[in-house]
C-alpha cells in the first residue's frame, strides 16, 4: 500500500518554539527541518509535507482571518493529502477546531489539531508525543478509509471531537476535556479507537465556507447583574446573536426586566442561546421556573454544547445567507456537526 500523505499546517503556538542554548530565549524553529528536530518522525511510514499560514501567531491572536487561511489551505490540498495535522496554540484551539468543524462541510478526512504545553525544544516537552501520535491518527486507515474522518483535537494521549472540547488547565499536560462526549481515541501501547463515537464517512461532496458573522456577544449571568449592564451589550445596534451563560440546567433570576430585554432582542431578530456555566451536563429550560421564563421569552436551548462550539455555530449560521431567521433558530437547536447530543 502507498504511504499516507499528511499535510502539517503550522499556525504558531508553543509547540513550534525551540530554546536558544546560549540565551535561553524561545524562538520559532524552521519547520522545513522538522525531522531534524524530531528524528522519530523518520520512523513513521508516512509522507510528510509542512506548510505555514502567512504569519504564524500566538493563539491568543487567532481571528476569523486565521480560520479562513486554514480552510483555504485545506480546500486547496484536500484531494492531494490523506489527512491534515494543524499545529496550534492551546489557548484558543477549541475555538479554532469548532470553527473548522462548521466551515468545512462534509469532511471525509482527518483534520487533527494538536499543540503542547511546553515548547518542542524543551527536554520535558509534551509536543513530540502529541505531534507524532496526531500524525499517526491522521494517517490511520481501515479498509482504505480514514478511521477518523472529522475535525478533532489530540492532546496528552486523548483524541477529542473538536467541537466538543474545552481547555481546562493552563499548566497540566492534560489540558483539555470533552465534558459531554466520549473520547474518539485513547493512545497507550496501542491507539484504541472508540468507533461508536467517531463520525462516519459521508457520501456528500466536501465544501468550504469562508464567511462568518462576528456580530455576536456573550453575557455571563451572576447574582446582582444589573439591567444597565445587560443592556450595554444587548442594545448594540449591530448585534445578531447573543449567548447567555446561565446557572445549572439553564437557570437565571426571574427578573421581569430580563424577560423584557430578551423579548426585545427577539423582536429585533437577534438569536439568543442558553448555555450552562457548568462544565458537564446540559440546559433543560423546562425543568424549573427559573428556566421556563427564558423559554417563554424566546431563548433557544444550547443543551450540552460547549461555549466555544455555541459561539462558533452562531457565527456560522448567521453567515448562511440562504437561511431565514426562523431557519437559523431551528438549526441552532439541532445537532448539525456532532456538536450537541440529539436528545
Regarding whether 260 and 191 lie in a shared domain, the answer is no
- Taking only the tens place, the pLDDT of each residue in 127-174 is 889 999 999 999 999 988 999 999 999 999 999 999 999 999 988 888
| Domain's final residue, options 208, 241, 270 | 208
What domain range is 239 assigned to?
216-332
- Lowest mean pLDDT, pick from 180-194, 213-227, 276-290: 276-290
261 and 158, same structural domain? no
- The grid cell for 47 is 509522507
User: Could you tell me if 144 and 259 lie in one domain?
Assistant: no
Q: Do 324 and 234 lie in a common domain?
A: yes
- Report how far apart, in Å, the C-alpha atoms of 59 and of each of 15, 63, 96, 224 are: 11, 9, 9, 33
Last residue within a domain, chosen from 208, 227, 246? 208
Whether residue 222 sits in one domain with residue 197:
no
Looking at the fold, whether 170 and 226 belong to one and the same domain comes out as: no
Q: Are residues 181 and 233 in the same domain?
A: no
Task: Give the whole-angstrom CA distance, residue 75 versus residue 110.
Answer: 13
Q: What are phi and psi of 134, to 5 degrees?
A: -60, -40
pTM value? Answer: 0.94
Cα–Cα distance, 248 to 279 (Å, whole number):
10
Q: What is the pLDDT of residue 306?
A: 97
What radius of gyration, in Å, describes the C-alpha atoms of the chain?
Answer: 21
Q: b or e along 83-107 (b: 16 or more beta carbons within 10 Å of the residue's beta carbon)?
A: bbbbbbbbbbbbbbbbbbbbbbbeb
* Higher per-residue confidence, 145 vs 37: 145
Phi, psi (degrees; rounded to nearest 5) at 329: -65, -40
Domain count, the chain: 2
Section 223-252 average pLDDT: 96
Same domain, 173 and 24: yes
Residue 139 and residue 80 share a domain: yes
- What is the average per-residue pLDDT within 291-297? 87
Q: Determine, yes or no, domain membership for 342.
A: no
pLDDT for 36 beyond 80: no
Q: What is the C-alpha separation between 304 and 310, in angstroms, rounded?
A: 10
Last residue of a domain, one of 162, 178, 208: 208
Taking Cα atoms as reference points, which of 297, 315, 341, 167 lies closest to residue 243? 315
Q: How confident is the model at residue 1 (pLDDT cuts 50, 70, 90)?
A: low
Please report, for the domain that includes residue 182, its CATH number: 3.40.50.1170
Cα(153)–Cα(12) distance, integer angstroms? 16
In percent, the amount of the chain with pLDDT more than 70 equals 95
| CA distance readout (Å), 206 to 49, 79, 107, 203 | 22, 10, 6, 9
Helix (H, G, I), strand (E, B) or coil at 51: strand
Q: How confident is the model at residue 56 (pLDDT cuts 50, 70, 90)?
A: confident
Q: What does the pLDDT look like over 104-123, one tens digit per residue?
A: 999 999 999 999 888 777 77
Catalytic residue numbers? Answer: 14
For residue 168, is it within any domain? yes
Q: Does residue 341 lie in a domain region? A: no
In-domain check, residue 82: yes
Between 183 and 31, residue with greater pLDDT: 183
Residue 270's pLDDT is 98
DSSP 63: -
Instruction: List strand residue ranges (DSSP E) for the chain, in order.
Output: 4-10, 17-19, 26-28, 46-52, 83-87, 104-105, 111-114, 141-142, 145-146, 151-155, 158-161, 166-167, 176-177, 185-187, 191-193, 207-208, 216-220, 241-246, 271-276, 300-301
32 — pLDDT class (breaks 50, 70, 90): low
Residue 199 and residue 50 share a domain: yes
Residues in the chain: 343
For position 231, which CATH number holds? 3.40.50.40
Coil vs helix vs strand at 104: strand
- Does 286 have pLDDT greater than 90? no
More confident residue, 84 or 14: 84
Q: Which residues contact 150 (CB under 8 A, 6 or more apart)?
A: 101, 107, 110, 111, 161, 162, 184, 198, 199, 338
Confirm whether 337 is domain-assigned: no
pLDDT at 14 over 80: no
Predicted local distance difference test score (pLDDT) of residue 23: 77
Task: Give the cell for residue 24.
Answer: 535561553
Q: How confident is the model at residue 30 (pLDDT cuts 50, 70, 90)?
A: low
User: 175, 170, 192, 174: which is closest to 183 by C-alpha?
Assistant: 192
Q: What is the mean pLDDT of the chain?
A: 92
Same domain, 165 and 254: no
As a whole number of angstroms, the distance between CA 137 and CA 159 comes to 9
Q: Does a structural domain hold residue 161?
A: yes
Q: Do 172 and 295 sit in the same domain of this protein?
A: no
Which residues have a Cβ under 8 Å from the Cβ of 95 and sit 6 or more positions away? 62, 308, 311, 312
Amino acid at each position: 500500500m502507498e504511504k499516507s500523505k499528511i499535510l502539517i499546517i503550522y499556525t504558531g503556538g508553543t509547540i513550534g518554539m525551540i530554546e536558544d542554548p546560549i540565551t535561553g530565549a524561545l524562538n520559532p524553529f524552521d519547520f522545513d527541518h522538522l525531522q531534524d528536530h524530531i528524528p522519530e518522525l523518520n520512523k513513521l511510514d508516512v509522507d510528510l509535507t509542512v506548510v505555514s499560514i502567512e504569519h504564524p501567531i500566538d493563539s491568543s491572536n487567532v481571528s476569523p482571518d486565521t480560520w479562513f487561511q486554514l480552510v483555504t489551505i485545506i480546500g486547496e490540498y484536500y484531494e492531494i493529502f490523506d489527512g491534515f495535522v494543524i499545529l496550534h496554540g492551546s489557548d484558543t484551539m477549541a475555538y479554532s477546531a469548532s470553527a473548522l468543524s462548521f466551515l468545512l462541510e462534509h469532511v471525509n478526512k482527518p483534520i487533527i489539531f494538536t499543540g503542547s504545553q511546553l515548547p518542542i525544544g524543551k527536554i520535558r516537552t509534551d509536543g513530540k508525543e502529541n505531534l507524532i501520535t496526531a500524525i499517526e491518527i491522521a494517517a490511520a486507515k481501515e479498509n482504505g478509509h480514514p478511521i477518523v474522518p472529522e475535525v478533532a483535537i489530540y492532546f496528552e494521549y486523548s483524541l477529542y471531537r473538536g467541537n466538543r472540547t474545552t481547555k481546562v488547565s493552563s499548566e497540566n499536560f492534560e489540558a483539555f476535556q470533552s465534558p459531554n462526549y466520549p473520547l474518539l481515541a485513547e493512545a497507550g501501547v496501542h491507539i484504541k479507537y472508540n468507533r461508536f463515537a467517531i463520525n462516519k464517512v459521508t457520501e456528500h461532496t466536501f465544501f468550504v465556507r469562508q464567511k462568518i458573522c462576528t456580530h455576536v456577544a456573550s453575557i455571563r449571568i451572576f447574582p446582582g447583574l444589573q439591567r444597565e449592564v445587560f443592556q450595554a451589550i444587548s442594545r448594540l445596534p449591530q448585534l445578531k446573536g447573543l449567548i447567555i451563560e446561565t446557572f445549572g440546567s439553564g437557570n437565571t433570576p426571574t427578573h421581569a426586566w430580563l424577560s423584557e430585554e430578551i423579548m426585545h432582542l427577539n423582536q429585533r431578530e437577534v438569536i439568543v442561546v442558553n448555555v450552562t456555566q457548568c462544565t458537564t451536563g446540559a440546559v433543560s429550560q423546562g425543568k424549573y421556573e427559573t428556566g421556563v421564563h427564558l423559554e417563554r421569552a424566546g431563548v433557544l436551548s444550547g443543551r450540552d454544547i460547549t461555549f466555544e462550539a455555541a459561539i462558533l455555530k452562531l457565527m456560522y449560521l448567521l453567515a448562511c445567507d440562504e437561511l431565514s431567521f426562523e431557519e437559523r433558530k431551528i438549526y441552532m437547536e439541532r445537532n448539525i456537526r456532532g456538536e450537541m447530543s440529539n436528545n
